[in-house]
Amino acid sequence: MFHAAILVIDDEPTNFDVIESFLSQQNYQLYYMSSGKEAIAALDLLQPDAILLDVMMPDMNGIDVCQHIKSLAKWQAVPIIIITALSTSDDLARCLEAGADDYVSKPINKLELRSRLQAMLRIKRQYDDLQVALEWQAALKAERIELLAKHNDELGQKVKERTAELEVQAERIRHNALHDPLTALPNRNFLLERIEAALARSKAAQATSSSTAVEPSFQYAVLFLDLDRFKVINDSLGHLFGDQLLVIIARQLETYLQGADMVARFGGDEFVFLIESASCLEALMERVEQILCDFQNPIRLKAYQLFVGVSIGIVLGNADYHEPAELIRDADIAMYQAKAKATNTFEVFALEMRTRALQRLTLESELRQALERDELLVYYQPIVEMESDRLIGLEALVRWQHPLRGFISPGEFVPIAEETGLVVPLDRWVLRQACQQLAIWRAQYAAFASVRVSVNLSAQDLRSTRLLSDIDTILRDTKLAGSCLTLEITESMLVEDIEPTLVLLAELHDRNIRVSIDDFGTGYSSLNYLHQLHVDYLKIDRSFVNQLSPNHPNYQVVNTIIALSQQLGLMTIAEGIEMAEQKYWLGQLGCTLGQGYFFAKPLSSGEIERQFCP
């Protein structure tokens, strides 16, 4: 067994042979490398105890090799003996300055080589022994510290237990004042106290960073959580069941807490996190993503598996905030942005969200006034027979001519109308305006004798108990027959409450009012119900018409919808037709009616008359 591993670095193999012969009786394990680069790359493999290094080498001289090895922390303690023919004091000084521990002059003297190598190895062993001793001493010291800390902990625990006994009653009173009685989570008051403390710490850190010209780091965040489907569960299974579900969710939310974080029940099905443990924004986002991921799994309660999504609004604490209520307000705004975007998602608050929220509030107020001030208009998009291009219907579309902002997109104000309940009076207004206009056209132009008007209904319209009576009143006032009217409802609305929908559609059928299923193919209607519905048209969504060609996947989807409508005795309307090629392929598939910019964009009543009335 060899006592030490010696690495010889020399570009002349004959020099290695000489060294090997000199050290053959010393029980060393000799390794040979012909270049410095190879030797450096092999250090971890060879694990040398000492290095014999030639100075004069072609690719990398010995001084450079020595400097490189000594720059590596792992190999600084390994002695390097320079073997050199250089004999001046300056040359030897360069070797030592490069980190060499000793040198042997050429021609190599056997006794000198052995003695210098043994001396270096002895120093190396002493160094290794010292390191072991230091490590042992450090371990012993750590053990003693641990024992002392444990002893102190035991004493501290006894003191804490005694103190806790004295404070238990006062703590119980404080707890009840600051915690929700149902879930035992902190309540709104406790949350606001903690946010106020976080604000104070943040401002102190901001002042420190400003005086030292250091950029302030991430301090804290407020997360506003709202359960997406809780109201449906609460209303259908009862409030007691809903309370039990809230307790389960509260325990689940507590599992996401770290360090000084807090989660509070803010009210109803709303919860708020105060996150102070996240080291950076990325760590915070990982926590949020985990919450969203877990809420995709069902919650088991009694015999039910319940799916409860969550919408999260996030506010990052900064120097612009002065009151806890401001953080709650902006987190709430961001949460509603998330809820509007999709279920089970999050949004980080930005200043423009607050601006949009104020604008939305203003828009809601102005929309209420617009119905009274005649600022709304009805535009009409033609529906034509595909084979003959004959006008057979007009879809009524609401537009808003704001006195200051000009035209406001329906995509901007219709969602507000749906959220606030204004959509029902808005739809009634559109229905009355469209029926009145059609009655005028029928009285003035023979071309409109068989033209129908189509009006969109919302889910709230379908749930309204006055829908049928309002339709009867409008048809009576405008002296139109039910056959002049088509009502468009989306596919997803059909299955929200199928039994009342079946009754409503039967009532409309009895009045000869036609019904069109809008955006067909994009919702979740059941084919089990489709054949029971009193409907007349399936309206193919524009997303399927776009890029329609025999080689596109949409082609088979459209073909299936048309085939289904033919089997059910329904007519099909393709919307979003913009090119002749789309019209051609739809005609080849047997689509009956079409609508889109290829025929005409939505037009005012005057433009309709100029384009379609001779």
pLDDT band at 526 (very low <50, low <70, confident <90, very high): low
Per-residue pLDDT reduced to its tens digit, 429-474: 999 999 999 999 999 998 899 999 999 998 888 888 899 999 999 9
- CATH code of 600's domain: 3.20.20.450
In a domain, 141, yes or no: no
Do 441 and 590 lie in one domain? The reply is: yes
- Helix (H) or strand (E) segment spanning residue 612: helix 605-612
**Residues 377 and 495 both lie in one domain:** yes
Determine the average pLDDT of the residues in 95-100: 83
In a domain, 304, yes or no: yes
One domain, residues 293 and 434: no
Mean pLDDT of 558-563: 90
Q: Are residues 491 and 604 in the same domain?
A: yes
Q: Which of 325, 349, 373 is the last residue of a domain?
A: 349
Residues 243 and 121 in one domain: no
Residues 289 and 370 in one domain: no
The reply to whether 355 falls in a domain is: no
Mean pLDDT rounded to a whole number for the chain: 85
CA distances from 594 to 263, 309, 397, 496 (A): 54, 39, 16, 28
Number of domains in the chain: 3
Q: What is the pLDDT of residue 379?
A: 95
| Among candidate residues 429, 499, 436, the one with its CA nearest the CA of residue 458 | 429
Query: Band of the pLDDT at 528, cuts 50, 70, 90?
Result: low
In a domain, 154, yes or no: no
- 32/78 same-domain check: yes
Residue 532 lies in a domain: yes
The per-residue pLDDT for 216 is: 46
Confidence band of 133 (pLDDT split at 50, 70, 90): confident
Q: Last residue of a domain, which of 322, 349, 376? A: 349
Percent of the chain with pLDDT over 70: 94
Instruction: Indicate if 266 and 222 belong to the same structural domain.
Output: yes
pLDDT at 497: 66
Q: What is the pLDDT of residue 56?
A: 84
270-295: per-residue pLDDT in tens? 999 999 887 788 888 899 999 999 99
**169 lies in a domain?**
no
Q: How far apart are CA 418 and CA 462, in angstroms?
A: 13
Domain around 254: 189-349
Residue after which a domain boundary falls, among 349, 378, 399: 349
Residue 370 · residue 405 · CB < 8 Å: no
Cα separation, 475 vs 480, whole angstroms: 5
Assign residue 29 the CATH number of its domain.
Answer: 3.40.50.2300
Which tens digit of pLDDT belongs to each residue from 480-510? 999 999 999 887 777 666 778 888 989 999 9
Question: What pTM did the predictor assign?
Answer: 0.54
Taking the C-alpha atoms of residue 370 and residue 416, their distance in angstroms, rounded to an integer, is 13
Look up residue 133 and give its two tokens: 């001793």
Least confident interval from 160-174, 472-486, 587-601: 160-174
d(CA 598, CA 614) in angstroms, rounded, equals 21
Model confidence over 395-429: pLDDT tens digits? Answer: 999 998 888 878 888 887 887 788 777 888 889 99
Residue 209 pLDDT exceeds 80: no
The answer to whether residues 452 and 371 belong to one domain is: yes
Q: Residue 487 and residue 479: Cα distance in Å, rounded?
A: 18
478 contacts 435 by C-beta, under 8 angstroms: yes
Tokens of 116: 């210098």
> By C-alpha distance, which of 110, 12, 4 is closest to 55?
12
User: Is residue 159 domain-resident?
Assistant: no
How far apart are alpha carbons 4 and 28 in whole angstroms?
A: 5
Same domain, 314 and 366: no
Same structural domain, 255 and 274: yes
Residue 180 within any structural domain of the chain: no
Residue 64 and residue 198 share a domain: no
Distances (CA, A) of 485 to 437, 461, 511, 575: 12, 16, 10, 19
